[in-house]
Structure 1
Amino acid sequence: METMTPHRSRLRTGARAVLIAAATMIASGCVNDAGIKSDKQIAAPATYETQQSLPAEGGQWPAMDWSAQFGDPQLPALIDEALRGNPSLEQARARIEKASSYVGSANSALYPNVTGSYSWTREQYSGNALVPPPIGGTWQSENTVLAGASWDLDLWGKNRERLRQSVSQEKVADAEAEQVRISLSASVASAYTHLAQLYALRDIETREVTNRQTIARITEGRVGAGLDTNVERETAYGEMATSRSSVSALDGQIATVRYQLGALLGEGPDRGLKIADPSLGKGADVALPDNLPADLLSRRPDIVAAYWQVDAATHGVKEAKAEFFPDINLSAAIGLDAFGWGRLLTAASREIQAGPAIHLPIFDAGALRSQLKGRYADFDYDVATYNQTLIDALSEVATQVTQIRSTDRQLVDARQALDAQTQAYQLALVRYKAGLNQQLQVLNADDNRLAAETAVVNLEMGRRTLQVGLIKALGGGFDASHSGLDATVQTPIAAASSDTANR
């Protein structure tokens, strides 16, 4: 029969003690998560009625190059320039890099950690303390070489949940960067459309100056013929000056919008002054895609970001639940420790240690329960944010479409009004020249024609701005399935309950 040495007996006794202690701690742990839960879920698109406001019309989702449909090659070039140099995109990229660094840190916790160290100490030891002669009372150099390793077994998945949470947060940052890209592209297109609108209004006012000059010349002739007085002459010249003032005001607005475009391009205001005059066309016909509410989930980056934020919060809840269970960490170290160099590399200088470390919260005054409640609150908040984002997205699409349809109907009447007011002005001008009308009638007719022409331009340009808004509301060409951001589950996310926690 093998005789057990005292050393081996002590090792086995120590191992049994560790196992008994671990079992006792697991069985009798006082800190628990009982009663802390959430019943919140993200809403499915079918939750909201959209059949009347968002009917299926067989339309296409916007393409990434949606700006080309307006027929002005300068607009896509400006958008590309903005996407290359705008600081807001650099901020978004920095957030992605930061989120990626968290993924790397969380991933490293799943693997053993190995360290190495060396130290050299020169010390005079007391002759009247713990170290006896011949070391005591002398100067000694101590050399220590140590290599150690530790590994958190992560039996309850805490580190794995932290990694999953970090991955989801990285996807949030990616989706938010896409949202910045779409918003920036739409802002450039809207500002460019506004610039085109101002130039169109300026052309109207420039023609109006000519019209006022024509009226002034007729008035001069009528004054010479005794048909009008100096009152009509001064009125005609005043109206002409007012039109010139309107042209100057539009010039100032045009310069301001050019400065705004320069800022959107990530450049100084002078860059905006170099932009050529816009030459935008009407753009593609407006038709909503089929199955819009459901497919919108993967087309809107803000909804995708909200989804992954909920997913990250779910893993945060599971991580907090795992904190209630014991941590078991395996550690080992081996090295050499000796006074002086001569004995450092000998077998007698070896140091070896190994063993498990177990940590279990017994009493923490409610710290872990409070932490879990906070994680559930984060989850509830993120679910509410997702649901609100979905509601806002559906409302935004419906609003843009409704306004476009309304504008189309208004344009029909506005163009008819312009034709009628133009004919009325021309007739009034002919009658005034023939001495059959008073000057006031001509000026009133011209004011009405000017207002009608301005209304048509504002409606046409406003419709194009609404088109850009609809493109943005439909995701601006984004597709989560092509960006690695598509949801991994099709059912609503629910936070882990006490019964389904990863243990």
Structure 2
Amino acid sequence: MSIKSNARYRVVGGMKPGVPMLFAAALTACVNYAGIHNDARTAEPQQFAAQQSLPAEQGYWPATNWSDQFGDAQLKALIDEALKGSPTLDQARARVVAASAYSEAARASTIPRVDASYSLTRQQFSNTTFVPPPFGGAWLTENKGILSASYDLDLWGKNRETLKAAISQYQASKADEEFIKLTLTTSIARTYNQLARLFVLRDIAQEETTQRERIERITAGRIATGLDTEVERKVAQANLATSRSSLRLLDGQILTIRYQIAALLGAGPDRGLQIARPTLGTGDEVRLPDNLPVDLVSRRPEIVAARWRVDAMTHDVKEAKAEFYPDINLSAAIGLDAFGFGRFLTAASRTASIGPAIHLPIFDAGELRAQLKGRYAEFDYAVATYNQTLVTALSEVATQLAEVRSTDAQLADAQIAQIAARKADELALVQYKAGLTNQLTVLNADVSALSADQAVANLRMNRRDQQIALASALGGGFIDASSASSPVAPRADASPTGTPVVAAR
């Protein structure tokens, strides 16, 4: 069973002499938040050791048109199309509008409110109650028009903190929209690169099929001269069928990727059938910009969103603390109230009121303290989310850079192996045609050449995919437009009327 007792006073015209004493006594007995606090702090990027993993290479931060570096006009067109028609992005925009509306509603509570009302009531008064004749038992019409105004003094900043929290949530939703936009463009670019990969692998498979057809013809000639048997013919036919099957598999995968790109565009699957073969180039040289990881906190939209949510929870905590203090609302009203129509617009029908309404929590069975503890828990969660987001971002940049460097080294060796394997395959085929070696030698050399071609192709595509991922990990050209007012390392233990405690950048 819960018990809630609130002291309310309304004085019209003036306050009685005993009320101040009663109010002072109530203040000493009201609920408080003594003993409820926390020490959670957002992490600073400088505290993470990253100089070796993220060296200063005098590079540039990616621009918003970072995908243009690959020189494929179709990719640029696909990204532009997605930014205009993606339902996922529409969802993010709707959340921004909702957050903006909520902040506007919160702003309304910080300014005076004026209302007007009019009522017309036809009523028969009882003849056996306190209403004397001639009104008792009679039907009367009451005209009532009131113009009222009210204003919450907000002495402890509760409404102002609610507004600040709403504004921070709005900023977070805007950063979320940018994060979704970056995620969408990155997904399109990486999927498009996968389409390019499949086309290159299909070219290799087509060359392999042509090679297997040549081996089959050579085998038929060798059988005619008695150098080979039907066993070699069947092996050649089986290998040719396998190569053709690989082509069919790649054709199916290409179609699937086209459908996936169409879905990312927010279009039907037929849109994917119109996508031509990619013509992606190598892209720019990969060099990290200076001042990492410090600048990353304003370049990664999800970090900015997490930071704004910490700030919003800081104000939510202060709003919860302000609930412990008296709430004073000033109100005034003026209007006309009369029975009938004849006297409604006369001076005798005038009515007016003015005075404060005071609300002070005295005993609430721990409701306000529980609410404050919950806000602190939400603040701790927001801080932990921000810290984890920062750690993850640094890890992603370092990981993508390491993969790019590793792929570059692998590609150099793979290209040497490819040249050697191709030369061996050509020599084996010449020797086989001349009867100087058997089919097994040719097939082994052919498989080695195929593997070498596929390895080089995959490494090149991996390199471009990692380059795309690195551009995304560096924020994809996003820069926090509200960086001048962005909160940094807020604490939730500031007083409800004080300024948030923030750490220097």
Q: Would you call these one fold, judging by a TM-score over 0.5?
A: yes
Q: How does 1:30-429 map to 2 (within 5 A)?
A: 30-429=30-429
| Match in the other structure for 2:8 | none
Query: What letter corresponds to residue 459 of structure 1 in structure 2?
Result: L
CA deviations 1:328-380 (Å, max 9, x no partner) are 00011111111110011112111111110111100101001111111111111
Change (3 A) 1:35 1:498: farther
Amino acid at match of 2:486: T
**Contact 1:418–1:452 (Cα < 8 Å) also in 2:** yes
1:487-502 aligned within 5 A: 487-490=485-488, 492-497=489-494
SS of 2:362's equivalent? coil
Q: Secondary structure at the match of 2:338?
A: strand
Give the drift of 1:19: 4.0
Report deviation, 1:21: 3.9
| One-letter amino acid matched to 2:65 | D
Letter of the structure 1 residue corresponding to residue 225 of structure 2: A
Shift in alpha-carbon separation, 1:500–1:18, aligned structure 2, 3 A: closer
Contact in 1 for aligned 2:308/2:486 (Cα 8 Å): no
- Aligned runs of 1:431-446 on 2, under 5 Å? 431-446=431-446
What SS does structure 1 have at the residue aligned with 2:358? strand
1:118 partner SS: strand
Q: What code does the residue aligned with 2:492 have?
A: A
Structure 2 contact 12–355 (Cα < 8 Å) conserved: no
Q: Secondary structure at the match of 1:174?
A: helix
Secondary structure (helix, strand or coil) at the match of 2:151 reads: strand
CA distance in 1, matches of 2:31, 2:484: 38
In 1, the alpha carbon distance for the partners of 2:299 and 2:333 equals 53
Alpha-carbon distance, 1:77 to partner: 0.9
Contact 1:321 1:501 (8 Å CA) reproduced: no
- Aligned partner of residue 134 in structure 2, secondary structure: coil
Q: Residue 34 of structure 1 contacts residue 498 of structure 1 at CA under 8 Å; is this kept in 2?
A: no
Note the C-alpha offset of 1:24.
Answer: 3.5
Contact 1:171 1:485 in 2 (8 A): no
Q: 1:296 offset after TM fit, Å?
A: 0.3
Separation (CA, whole Å) in 2 of partners of 1:174 and 1:13: 49
Following TM superposition, by how much is the alpha carbon of 1:188 offset from its aligned partner in structure 2, in angstroms?
0.4
Contact 1:119–1:143 under 8 Å retained in 2: yes
The answer to whether the 8 A contact 1:158-1:322 is kept is yes
Which whole-Å CA distance do the structure 1 matches of 2:134 and 2:13 have between them? 37
Say which is worse superposed, 16-25 or 191-200, in terms of deviation. Answer: 16-25
Judge conservation of contact 1:206–1:247 (CA < 8 Å) in 2: yes
Query: Which secondary structure state, in structure 2, belongs to the residue aligned with residue 435 of structure 1?
Result: coil
Q: Deviation per CA, 1:63-108, whole angstroms, max 9, x where unpaired?
A: 0110110011111111010010000100000100110011011100
Measured after TM superposition, the shift of residue 427 of structure 1 is: 0.7
* Residues 1:109 and 1:17: Cα distance change in structure 2 (over 3 Å): farther
Aligned mates of 1:240, 1:56 — CA distance in 2: 52
Superposed CA offset, 1:213-233 (max 9, x none): 110111010000000001111
Judge conservation of contact 2:157–2:497 (CA < 8 Å) in 1: no
Q: 1:388 to 1:445 in 2, by over 3 A?
A: same
8 A contact 1:421–1:445 mirrored in 2: yes
Return the offset for 1:317.
Answer: 0.6
Q: Which residue is 2:23 aligned to?
A: 22
| Partner-residue secondary structure (3-state), 1:144 | strand
C-alpha deviation, 1:500, in angstroms: 7.8
CA separation of 1:11 and 1:467: change in aligned 2, threshold 3 A: closer
Whether the aligned pair in 2 keeps the contact of 1:303 and 1:390 (CA below 8 Å) is yes
Residue 484 in structure 1 maps to residue 482 in structure 2: yes
Change (3 A) 1:257 1:340: same
CA distance in structure 2 between the aligned counterparts of 1:451 and 1:445, rounded to whole angstroms: 10
Separation in 1 of the partners of 2:12 and 2:176? 56
Tell me the CA shift for residue 484 of structure 1: 2.7
Whether the 8 Å CA contact 1:37–1:497 is kept in 2: the answer is no
Structure 2 distance, partners of 1:154, 1:11, is: 20
State TM-score, norm by structure 2. 0.95
Amino acid at match of 1:214: R
CA drift at 1:262: 0.4
Q: How many correspondences in the alignment?
A: 490
Structure 2 vs 1, CA of residues 11 and 356 (structure 1 numbering), >3 Å: closer, same or farther? closer
CA contact (8 A) 2:78 2:265 kept: yes
Per-residue deviation, residues 456-498 of structure 1 (Å, max 9, x unmatched) = 0000001101011001100000000xx23555355x2211246
> Residue 360 of structure 1 aligns to a residue in which SS?
strand
Taking a change above 3 Å as real, the CA distance of residues 11 and 218 of structure 1, as seen in their structure-2 partners, is closer
Secondary structure in structure 2 of the residue aligned to 1:361: strand
- Cα 1:260–1:478 shift into 2, 3 Å: same
AA partner of residue 15 (structure 2) = G
Say whether 1:458 aligns with 2:458: yes
Q: CA deviation at 1:502?
A: 6.6
- CA shift for structure 1 position 122: 1.1
Secondary structure of 2:283's match?
coil
Query: Do 1:29 and 1:360's aligned partners in 2 also have CA atoms closer than 8 Å?
Result: no
Contiguous gaps of at least 5 residues in structure 1: 1-9
Instruction: Read off the aligned partner of 1:14 and give its amino acid letter.
Output: M
Between the aligned partners of 2:281 and 2:292, the Cα distance in structure 1 is 27
The question of whether the paired residues in 2 share the 8 Å contact of 1:303 and 1:386 is answered with yes
Change (3 A) 1:486 1:228: farther
Could you tell me how far 1:22 is from its partner in structure 2? 3.5
TM-score by length of 1: 0.95
Structure-2 separation of matches of 1:146 and 1:131: 24
The secondary structure found in structure 2 opposite 1:292 is coil
Contact 1:40/1:494 (8 A) holds in 2:
yes
